[in-house]
Amino acid sequence: MKYIIVDLEATCWENKDLQKKNEIIEIGAVCINTEGEIQSEFSEFVKPLINPVLSEFCKKLTTIKQNDIDAAESFKEVIERFKNWINVNEDYMLCSWGFYDKSQFKSDCELHKLGTNWLNHHISLKHQYAEIKKLQRPIGMAGALKIEKLQIDGTHHRGIDDARNIAKIFIQHIDKWKYK
C-alpha cells in the first residue's frame, strides 16, 4: 500500500462567485510507503478550460503566476501523468486535508468526461485528525501543524508545499489512520 498525500489549488474569486466553476490549477502530491518514508513527489500546474485567466485574488492567495498557467497543459494531460505516477493498478490510498480535493478532482474529471473510479480510495485526514486528537471539530492544516509542534514549510496555498506539510502530519500518526 502506498499513501498519496494530495493537495489541489483551483481557480478562485474573492467574492466566491457561484456563477464561476472552480477548476484545478495545481496538483501537488507526496507518495509515502507503509514505513512512513517519502518515496516521491508530483507537482504540476494545470491550464483551466473555462476560466484560463486567474483572478487577482487567486494569484495573490496561491502565488501562482499567470505565465505558470499559460505554460501548463490541460487537465486531461496532467491527470493522466498523475494517475501513472500513482500507478492506479496498485494498492494506494488518496489522503487529503478534507473532502474538497476529492470533490474537485471529481468535478474536473466530469468536466473533461473522464472516469472517477480511481477516486474511490480516499480518506480525509482532516476529519480523522479531529477524532485522533479528540477535537470538537476538524481544524485547518496550519492549526494541526501547530498542535504537532511542526513548522509550516514553503508557501501556504501552494499544492506541493501543502502536500509536504500534510505529509508531516500523516507520518506523525501513520499507525492511527483508518482506511475504510
Residues with Cβ within 8 Å of 98's Cβ and at least 6 positions away in sequence, in order, are 124, 126, 127, 138
CATH class of residue range 2-172: alpha beta
- Give the cell for residue 115: 472516469
Q: Where are the domains of the chain?
A: 2-172
Q: What confidence tens digit (pLDDT) does each residue in 33-69 have? A: 999 999 999 999 999 999 999 999 999 999 999 999 9
* CA–CA gap between residue 178 and residue 180 (Å, rounded): 6
Residue with the three cell numbers 474537485: 104
Using DSSP's 3-state secondary structure scheme, residue 169 falls into: helix
Average pLDDT over residues 17-46: 94
| pTM recorded for the entire structure | 0.96
